Amino acid sequence: MHLEPRLRAWVEHVALPGRTVVDARSLAGGYINDNRLVTTADGDEFVLRRYLRGNSCAIEAALAARLAEIVPVPEVIAADPDGSGAGEPILLSAFAPGRPLGDALAGATGPEAAELGRQTGRTLASIGSVEFAAPGFFSDASLEPGPPGMEPTSELDTFVQHCLNEGNAAGHLSDDEQQALLRFAAEAAADLAVLHGSRRLVHADFNPKNLLAVRTDGRWRLSAVLDWEFAFSSSPLFDVGNMLRDPRPAGFGEAFVDGFREGGGQLPGNWRRLSQALDLYSLADLLKRPADHRYFQRAVERIRALIAA
């Protein structure tokens, strides 16, 4: 068991008074945040979340409360956004059962992949049903998007240029590939104008690693949507592009789109191009990760596929 004394004291005396921690182990992931599975003497399990790069604790706690009756999210047991009690920002939530969606898909038959796709699409539509007063990014528990006038779907070409200048693309993307990427971004930036003003909840990391699925009575359902640290207010097509970025098992993609529409999600006629363009914000940003990071090379590969198409 590895749980620093101050964190253990906060869990046992503030978050779960009267209960004793008997085990703690690291969970997968950990680049942006550190997650530990905490077990108490009575056998209950919780997830203790520490913030390594940026403090989104208050935002995640507020989103969990807002989404409680809309989307399957783990219940927040306690939070210390400013670290006044635990010595650092920290959040404790109930442990959500289920397998990562990627694991479930790895062994799924065609009908099972389609069922998982439909469930995923309907869940995304539920996320997008949450509406805000304006587009923008959250800065605190009020969940008021800002700053005033912010438009997350604008200036894609400028953002991509910045990521190429500040990131590690040199030596991994050729000069011709970088120029092709900039041309794609410039053309797509004009297309994205139709999405300006969109103000729906965007998860911003909506992919199989952040979704849990359980199978009950032979049917799949999503049991939890995890990791809301990047969430903001804009167009659900950001999440559509993220989910369809990588190849999925046969039947998943079509059922995902059908489920999204069935759940009330709206897709314009050119939604594929628009969602790919919006996903480029994330792909380009990944170019600023270290070149040996597991997501850097994936971003390079997806960018090559995008400009080739």
CATH number for the domain harbouring residue 63: 3.30.200.20
Structure confidence at residue 246 (pLDDT): 92
Structure confidence at residue 1 (pLDDT): 59
Q: Note whether 247 and 265 are same-domain residues.
A: yes
Q: Note whether 237 and 205 are same-domain residues.
A: yes
- Helix 156-166 and helix 175-191, axial crossing angle in degrees, nearest 10: 150
Q: Note whether 28 and 115 are same-domain residues.
A: no
Domain of 215: which CATH number? 3.90.1200.10
Q: How long is the chain?
A: 309
Position 29 pLDDT exceeds 70: no
Q: Note whether 155 and 299 are same-domain residues.
A: yes
Look at residues 73, 94, 115 and tell me which one is the last residue of a structural domain. 94
Q: What percent of the chain is predicted at pLDDT more than 90? A: 93
- Interior angle at CA 195, CA 189 and CA 201, nearest 5: 120
Query: How far are the Cα atoms of 30, 35, 84, 104 from residue 152, in angstroms, in the given order?
Result: 26, 29, 33, 32
Structure confidence at residue 180 (pLDDT): 97
Q: What percent of the chain is predicted at pLDDT more than 70? A: 99
Position 30 pLDDT exceeds 70: no
Name the residue range of residue 179's domain.
99-308
Q: Which residues pair with 193 in a beta bridge?
A: none
* Average pLDDT for the chain: 95
Structure confidence at residue 2 (pLDDT): 75
**pLDDT (mean) for 137-144:** 98
Look at residues 94, 116, 149 and tell me which one is the last residue of a structural domain. 94
* Tokens encoding 138: 């959250």
- 17: CB partners within 8 A, 6+ apart: none
Look at residues 58, 73, 94 and tell me which one is the last residue of a structural domain. 94
Total domains present in the chain = 2
Contact indicator for 53, 74 with CB cutoff of 8 Å: no
Position 51 pLDDT exceeds 70: yes
The DSSP bridge pattern shows strands 200-202 and 211-216 to be unpaired
**pLDDT (mean) for 140-154:** 97
* Tokens encoding 155: 């200036």
Q: Note whether 103 and 90 are same-domain residues.
A: no
Give 293's pLDDT tier (boundaries 50, 70, 90). Answer: confident
Q: Note whether 88 and 200 are same-domain residues.
A: no
Q: Note whether 104 and 87 are same-domain residues.
A: no
Q: Note whether 65 and 116 are same-domain residues.
A: no
**pLDDT (mean) for 38-56:** 96
Q: Note whether 77 and 190 are same-domain residues.
A: no
Position 239 pLDDT exceeds 80: yes
Instruction: Quick: pLDDT tens for 213-230.
Output: 999 888 999 999 999 999
Structure confidence at residue 294 (pLDDT): 84
Q: Note whether 186 and 55 are same-domain residues.
A: no
**pLDDT (mean) for 157-161:** 97
Q: Note whether 58 and 138 are same-domain residues.
A: no
Q: Note whether 171 and 241 are same-domain residues.
A: yes
